Amino acid sequence: MGKIKLNNIRVHAWHGCLKEESIIGSDYRVDLEVSSDLSKPADSDALSDTIDYVHLNNIVKEEMNIKSKLLEHVAKRILDRAFLEIPLIHSAEVSVSKINPPIGGDVESVSVILSRQQ
């Protein structure tokens, strides 16, 4: 088993329950980690034998571009697509963080973390 991690994917998106959030948007950070048997690509040196992190990054960007009220919903959609489109994934964890959330305090970010196993 091995892991592929995408760290600090930065996007601007329009998630939240407040009307203003869906208009002006916010900055987000997404971290995605997937586990898989990486022994074959380690030997073959072939992209077709592994999980393409460009594909993972595109899933994150596309799902983050769809407005949602809750970060939980966005995180679940990212996991759903990753498992649907990339059968080599055994388990995955995604963290979706809203930077400087509008919660009436000096908070750097708020995160939702979801994980799933095949």
What residues are annotated to the active site?
A: 98
Q: Are 73 and 58 in contact (CB under 8 A)?
A: no
Between the CA atoms of 55, 56, 60 and 66, what dihedral angle is there, to the nearest 10 degrees? 50
Amino acid residing at 92: A
> Which tokens go with 57?
């990054």
Strands ordered across the beta sheet of 26-36: 2-13, 26-36, 91-99, 109-117
